[in-house]
Amino acid sequence: MENMANKVARIPNLVDWSTGEVRLMSAKCNSCGTYFFPKEHYQHRPGCSREGVEDVLLPTRGKLASYTIQYYPCPAPFKTEKKITPYGIGLVEFADEKIQITGIITETDLKTLKIGMEMETTLLEMYTNEEKQQVVTWAFKAV
């Protein structure tokens, strides 16, 4: 994977790339088994004792559960230096964790998208900040 040292997350505590793999930062309740994203967004199952919530990293790969293709620019406050339209928005399911997460689809021919195809978490470079760092967010790409 490319040099990750000069990158900064647009919103902290959503994505981790410290190991060279891009992984979404989640949390798991050990009482009810529910995974949360973002990790601070706890929605426990009814009757859960809400004990033993731990931070976890989701797998790098999941399956495309749904998608749409957008032909207009992302609305503010989302911004990029490069034109990304048209772009896909995909709902990616991490089956073992029983969680689905939405993200922009990048580095993929949108005409090849199919429900059930394997997707990988990646970074989308949005813009360069005043400190000359690449501001990034998570995205998904076809495997």
Distance CA 122, CA 61 (A): 10
The mean per-residue pLDDT over the stretch 33-51 comes to: 80
Of 6-15, 32-41, 94-103, the range with the lowest mean pLDDT is 32-41
Residue 42, pLDDT above cutoff 90: no
Average pLDDT over the chain, rounded to an integer: 91
**What does the pLDDT read at residue 52?**
84
Per-residue pLDDT band at 90 (split at 50, 70, 90): very high
Share of the chain above pLDDT 70, in %: 95
**What does the pLDDT read at residue 49?**
78
Q: How far is CA 62 from CA 75, 87, 119, 131, 135, in A?
A: 26, 19, 5, 34, 24
> Could you count the other beta carbons within 10 Å of the beta carbon of residue 82?
8
Residue 133, pLDDT above cutoff 70: yes
